[in-house]
Amino acid sequence: MEMEDLEEFMIPKEAMEKLNDPELLRRYIEEGKTFQDILGYKQESMDKFYDVACNLYRNHRYKSASDAFLFLTTLNPYVPEYWLGQGMCEQVNEEYKQALVAYSMAILGDRDMPVAHYHSAACHNGLGDVHAALACLERTLLICGDKEQHAAIKVQAQRSKDLLNARKKPS
């Protein structure tokens, strides 16, 4: 993304004035408006910013990606994919508790998102809670069912479950 393309991500002056008016801001929040609504970001801009955040993650720029996903979740906390991205950034940095918070928010937004349950399992395992990890993997497998679009994550979840169960058994 070129520098001139970043202009659409700048907070407009009118929006900044709204943020500086606590009474107006309180009213907007009471009306259920998100900061995306209050600041006037269009969905097209949010989609572009999400693409940037994902590219930062794919390019192993996890701190920058985390900042980008945090910005997105602040603007609109009702989009599970933003929380999923935030969780993945935390997980890769072995911040498992923070990742679990983000994955929980993703699940609140879409309880049938198998990838959030799958990654939650890895975090629980990283924290040494095999029982919780297995429960997350069970939920992943249940959600996946026979749905073709979830076939890959189902295979990964089953392998992870088998490995954890094998580790649990006494030698």
* pLDDT at position 168 over 80: no
- Report the pLDDT value the prediction gives residue 18, as an integer from 0 to 100: 79
Tens of pLDDT along 149-166? 999 999 999 999 999 999
In whole angstroms, give the CA distance from residue 125 to residue 120: 9
**The residue type at 51:** D
Fold: same for 41-110 and 112-171? yes
In whole angstroms, give the CA distance from residue 57 to residue 71: 14
Residue 89: name the closest of 73, 65, 56, 71 by CA: 65
- Report the pLDDT value the prediction gives residue 118, as an integer from 0 to 100: 98
For the chain, the distance separating the N- and C-terminal CA atoms, rounded to the nearest angstrom, is 54
- Report the pLDDT value the prediction gives residue 1, as an integer from 0 to 100: 46
Instruction: Calculate what percentage of the chain has a pLDDT beyond 90.
Output: 80
Q: In the chain, what are the domain boundaries?
A: 11-40, 41-110, 112-171
Domain 112-171 class, CATH top level = mainly alpha
- Residue 127 structure tokens: 């924290």
Burial class (CB in 10 A: 0-12, 13-18, 19+), 23: exposed
5 vs 123 pLDDT, higher one? 123
Mean pLDDT, rounded, for 56-69 = 95
- Report the pLDDT value the prediction gives residue 123, as an integer from 0 to 100: 98
Tens of pLDDT along 6-57? 566 677 787 778 788 889 889 998 999 999 998 888 999 999 999 999 999 9
Give the number of C-alpha atoms closer than 13 A to the C-alpha of residue 169, restricted to the C-beta side: 6
- Report the pLDDT value the prediction gives residue 47, as an integer from 0 to 100: 96
pTM comes to 0.88
What residues have CB less than 8 Å from 112, skipping those under 6 apart?
143
129 phi and psi, to 5 degrees?
-105, 85
Chain mean pLDDT for the chain: 91
Superfamily of domain 41-110: Tetratricopeptide repeat domain (1.25.40.10)
